Amino acid sequence: MKIPLSASDITETEIAAVVETLRSERLSLGPKLLEFERAFAEYTGAKHAVATNSGTSALHLAVRALDLKAGDEVITTPFSFVASANAILYESATPVFVDVDADTLNIDASRIEAAITRKTRAIIAVHVFGRAAPMREIVEIAEKYDLKIIEDAAEATGARIENKTVGTFGDAGIFAFYPNKQITTGEGGMLVTDNEQIAARASRMRNQGRDQTQDWFEHTELGFNYRLSEINCALGIEQLKRIEPILAMRESVARKYNQRLRGNANLILPEIEAANQHISWFVYVVRLSENFTRAQRDSIVKQMNEHEIGCGRYFAPIHLQPFYREKFGYITGDFPVAEFQAERAIALPFFNRITAAQIETVCETFERLIEAVR
């Protein structure tokens, strides 16, 4: 791929920190883990942070720590990465999807109350593409109906509503550090919470159900191996130190794309500024205007990739994934806003160090291909 969809950005300092850890005595459950957790808690303003080996495992721990189980319904969005609803299925609880807002692509808070039943226990709010979900409204609804809140902030490290970091509005929030996210540990995730019991349970379940004070072969409860190695943590600590310049670079890339593509009547561009919030740019996704079909979108994506420009269809709605259709009987048309937006969405190459010349190549090819399919 000449211009990839995403690319990680690792400095020599970060490489040196990883090498130094490799030469140390501890490769797991050591000082780097504690340092990474402390730094992340401080960055988000949460009281506790528990590092895990993926965002998905952090989300699973959040679901378990809140005791969501078979018979419980959990409200969430169909317009997300499949992991955000899968974590509900891991504990045999039932995801209940609520359609999204066509502009923000986040869950439409005005539709949530209609989806609440006697079985509803929680809401998993996802901050899609690094844009904050309507947390003030969600918190209000959760208080009214006594529901728990988990925030899936896997795409939103550094996003804020007013001055409060996403991930800290509910009972627990999770972040992810896969290589395409704002900061990376290779693989990795983090659970944050102000609740000491949730933090203690998550940290115990991450480590095979062991209490920190226990010996290695004493297991208080069913646990998992969701530990993040010292090597990953060493990288995470250094990446987190650069979070502000990284977010600034990403926002600047989004601005350049918008400047270049503005005025193209075939495209709906993402907003750079959102009222009362700070967006943390995860991907740059444009939508084709309403007169384009899904087949035309797919053809453009395919041709972009043939031109060695990484392009993606962000997202394929979760309820239409084959195993969700099969398990719950979802069909096309169940969540029309999410489906309509998903059919016309295209993610363009987006990474910290994409050059102006690369952006120009992407946009020039993209505009040409759009004209050709019309």
Ligand X SMILES: *Cc1c(COP(=O)(O)O)cnc(C)c1O
Q: Which of 119, 181, 256, 302 is catalytic?
A: 181
All residues at 6 or more sequence positions from 12 whose CB lies less than 8 Å from its CB, including other chains: none
78 close to 319: Cβ distance less than 8 angstroms? yes
3-class secondary structure, 292: coil
Nearest to 192 by CA among 217, 143, 158, 219: 158
Distance of alpha carbon 231 from alpha carbon 49, whole angstroms: 18
Site residues for ligand X, 166-205, by CB under 6 A, read: 176, 178, 189
Residue 54 makes contact with ligand X by CB under 6 A: yes
Residue 55 makes contact with ligand X by CB under 6 A: yes
Residue among 56 and 168 whose Cβ is closer to ligand X: 56
Residue 56 makes contact with ligand X by CB under 6 A: yes
Residue among 53 and 296 whose Cβ is closer to ligand X: 53
Shortest gap between Cβ of 127 and ligand X (angstroms)? Answer: 8
Stretch binding ligand X (CB under 6 A), from 13-21, 64-72, 75-83, 246-254: 75-83
DSSP of 124-193, one letter per residue? EEE-GGG----HHHHHHHHHHHT-EEEEE-TT-TT-EETTEETTSSSSEEEEE--TTSSS--SS-EEEEE
φ/ψ (deg, to 5) at 118? -65, -20
Residue among 101 and 155 whose Cβ is closer to ligand X: 155
Stretch binding ligand X (CB under 6 A), from 78-86, 136-144, 193-201, 268-276: 78-86
Residue among 126 and 202 whose Cβ is closer to ligand X: 126
Residue 81 makes contact with ligand X by CB under 6 A: yes
Shortest gap between Cβ of 189 and ligand X (angstroms)? Answer: 5
End-to-end CA gap in the chain: 26
Site for ligand X (CB under 6 A): how many residues? 14
The verdict on whether 181 is a catalytic residue reads yes
Write out the residues near ligand X by the rule CB under 6 A.
54-56, 80-81, 83-84, 126, 152, 154-155, 176, 178, 189
> Which active-site residues does the annotation give?
181
